[in-house]
Amino acid sequence: MRAPSTRALLKPVKRWLILGHRWLGIVTGLFLAAWVLSGLVMLYVAFPALTEAERLSHLTPIAWDRVHLGPDAALARAGLDPPPGGLSLSMRGGAPVYQVTTRDGARHAVSAETGQTLGPIDAAAAVASFGPGATVRAVRRDQWTVRDRYDPLRPFHVVAPGDASGTELYVSARTGAVVLDTTRRERLWNWLGAIPHWLYPTPLRARAELWRGTVLWVSGIAIAGVLSGLVLGIWRLRLRRPYASGVTPYRGLARWHHLLGTLGGLSLLTFVASGWLSMNPNHWFSPRSPPAPMREAYAGPVHPVDRAALDGLALDDLDRDDRARLHTVEVRFTQVDGRPVLIAADARGGRRVVPPPSPEALRAAAARVLPEARIAEIETLTAYDAYWYPHHDTRPLPVLRVRFDDAAATWLHLDPETGALLDRLDASGRLQRWLFEAPHRLDFAILFQARPAWDLVMWLLNGLGAGIAVSGVILGWRRLRRTARVG
């Protein structure tokens, strides 16, 4: 009996590949087109967020003469016990308050005059400092506060000052602080950018696990569709013995879909696969944000905050002339290796650290994070590199990079000025940087810092992806119409 030829064996494989790609493309084609086109919008308009500079700009100078209680006395009267870093002093309305985040993530405002835990603010109090033309409305959850990170701050008073930009400020009714701002431009473009790109409609995103599963499944199916198309595209391409129509057997729009898919299929596959990995499937990658036990170990044993240090900040504010005065709007209370550190900031982002942490304290605090490991190296970064770099945001320089010899090859990044533990990056996190961030955002310093070269490359690759996706959607629609007529 004659053995079947290789061509005969591959024939059903090719048929199933064609059918699989066709129907996978029909199912996910619109998602692919939306992802690629919305990704172009996201290059220039990010999802609304309150930057540190914006947050500080909404605060008013602390009325030191009304700060009657130090933080320890105020917290004792309120019966609250925040972890290190969960306490700050600022103004709420016309009175100084301690903003407290307790170990369960709850937020509280405590009067610095009486130690009383303050209740929610009403709409009149929220709008009072924004002038007579401002309007206010109540919101518990909307498109811009859909993330669960806002849960401890809900509900919100949304204040519209009536400026030309259509700004809306979200004031937490619980704390009285501005926690988010949006502009008309951001709100408009995000309906064409982040919302379709991240599958972010409020009813879906409000259910975190359902949203995560949906993104994983849809992008996973899309990966199969793009991969099958790339394999099929290369298989059907003839360079040495062309078809009568040329290197592709197709004509019309199908010809363009084939050629664009062969040329840009790998970049589209990389984009979709890296997006799938951004959801951290099966929790393969460790998050960069250090968990609470690491932060508490870094802070060290809880140490009472000396009221004299707070009084020193007040005197320093009052003793300076107007040109040199800090005009402190916030004091954050942190710890490094059991030593209290106070960080005073003004509305322009200027800051004063009292007392600045010493190199010895930083090293001892870092060692506490992984007591079973040894610190292999501490280096000072004065320039960005492949793992510490900006991308549409800012990251401080210089920073300290502390490398450990543990099994996970952990790195810590520390702010040498404030002693802040900025992030944790282990071997899995560094792998994610190359599997997700690098191929998805092309955030290589040599490219991103040489704009508009980065923009041109992103437009070229996204343009190819858009051509593949849009032509595929049209072909899929034609196929469905023909099928419906036959049926």
Which pLDDT does position 327 carry in this prediction? 85
Distance (Å, rounded) from C-alpha 96 to C-alpha 110? Answer: 9
Per the listing, tokens 């419906």 go with: 484
Which pLDDT does position 206 carry in this prediction? 94
Which pLDDT does position 447 carry in this prediction? 78
Which pLDDT does position 294 carry in this prediction? 95
- Smallest CA-to-CA distance from 200 within 54, 46, 50 is with 46
- pTM score above 0.85: yes
pLDDT beyond 90 at 443: no
**Helices 208-236 and 6-42 meet at what angle, rounded to 10?**
130
Q: HEC profile for 292-321?
A: HHHHHHHHCCCCCCCHHHHHHHHHHHHHCC
DSSP character for 128?
G
Of residues 369 and 446, more confidently modeled: 369
Distance (Å, rounded) from C-alpha 263 to C-alpha 101? Answer: 52
Q: What are phi and psi of 36, to 5 degrees?
A: -65, -50
Count of Cβ atoms closer than 10 Å to residue 467 Cβ: 20
- Smallest CA-to-CA distance from 354 within 319, 398, 309, 421 is with 309
Distance (Å, rounded) from C-alpha 335 to C-alpha 353? Answer: 12
State the average pLDDT over residues 358-362.
96
**Digit-coded pLDDT (tens) for 385-424:** 999 988 777 889 999 999 999 999 999 999 999 999 999 9
> Of the given ranges (89-98, 104-113, 129-138, 207-216), which has the lowest mean pLDDT?
129-138
Which pLDDT does position 263 carry in this prediction? 92
Contact by Cβ (8 Å): 275, 40: no
> Of the given ranges (2-6, 126-130, 190-194, 322-326), which has the lowest mean pLDDT?
322-326
